Amino acid sequence: MAQPNDRLHDYLVKEISVNETTRQQLLSIIKPALGPVWTTRFRCLAHGLGFPRWGNLRRLKPFSDDHGWDRGTPVDRYYVDRFFERHRADITGDVLEIDRSTYTHRFGHDLRTTHAFDINPRCEGTFFCDLAHSENVLQSEAYDCVLMPCTLSFLREIELCLQNALRVVKPGGVILANGGGLFRLDKAEDDFWRLTPAGWRELLHRVWPSCEVVVEGEGNCLSVVAANLGLSLEELSSEELDYCDGIFPVVTNVFCRKPKHEAR
């Protein structure tokens, strides 16, 4: 003989089944009548979800075709500059920077030697070379710090470049670098690597196995949208820029410290 609790359970299961069947039947009638747009709107309304207010953001082209330089400062530079600011103490002594020594002089201290290199002969560097094949140009273990701002995405032979970057660093020295995240490509034909922070960790631990490596993504949903729309960082508040959400990296920052030689 069924107990009262069993009868209640059976009744609830039957009611839920009937209600679910009725709901599905109603939806099968309503959806075609409303169409996908209004069906989505009613669904959002039923679940208490907000509606987007697109305004002039509903556009197929960004506000700027130059990453926001024509409006102010690109959004990604907020995170790039903040990274180098945090590592001022490491930018000292003999410093090598890709392209030109801009970040060296902006964030460095007690500088002894400041060199720059680039694959582009038009750049005002000390050395002209491809980092991937720089063995005969850049001296090994010559620098206390190597700066590669906004660079990692553009290194075609990425593993060779990273190996040579480590080669020129003195034991105990550091590499500070950035890679692009979730924003528009700079030049589609030259923008090779848009790895996630986890992807960069995987690669760097393989290429620099004995080093101290720290990889961090910085950004959030709003700063990603602003960067892709070509807005400038001046158009966002510091609170909006400072909020970090790991699944929306605008920039990936890389810190590497080369181990000191073992005592003999």
Q: pLDDT tens-digit profile of 215-245?
A: 999 999 999 999 999 999 999 999 999 999 9
Number of other CB atoms surrounding residue 139 within 10 Å: 14
Architecture of domain 76-257: 3-Layer(aba) Sandwich (3.40)
Q: What integer best gives the mean pLDDT of the chain? A: 90
Predicted confidence (pLDDT) at residue 264 exceeds the cutoff of 50: no
Domain boundaries, the chain: 1-51, 76-257
Confidence of residue 12 (pLDDT cuts 50, 70, 90): very low
**Both tokens of residue 84?**
């180098």
Q: What is the pLDDT of residues 90-147, one digit of tens each?
A: 999 999 999 999 999 999 999 999 999 999 877 778 999 999 999 999 999 999 999 9
Identify which of 240, 230, 172, 163 has the alpha carbon closest to the alpha carbon of residue 203: 163
Mean pLDDT in residue range 44-58: 87
Mean pLDDT in residue range 168-184: 96
Strand 251-257 with 109-118, pairing: unpaired
Identify which of 186, 192, 178 has the alpha carbon closest to the alpha carbon of residue 228: 186
Identify which of 188, 192, 124 has the alpha carbon closest to the alpha carbon of residue 161: 192
**Both tokens of residue 98?**
């890709």
Identify which of 233, 187, 235, 248 has the alpha carbon closest to the alpha carbon of residue 82: 233
**Both tokens of residue 44?**
């959002």
Q: What is the pLDDT of residues 189-217, one digit of tens each?
A: 889 999 999 999 999 999 999 999 999 99
pLDDT for 77? 97
pLDDT for 263? 42
**Both tokens of residue 118?**
């680039």
Which positions ≥6 away from 105 have C-beta within 8 Å?
Answer: 111, 114
Matching residue, tokens 């939806």 = 27
CA pair distance 22, 16, nearest whole angstrom: 10
What does the DSSP 8-state code read for residue 131?
Answer: G
More confident residue, 121 or 182: 182
Q: Are the beta carbons of 128 and 119 closer than 8 angstroms?
A: yes
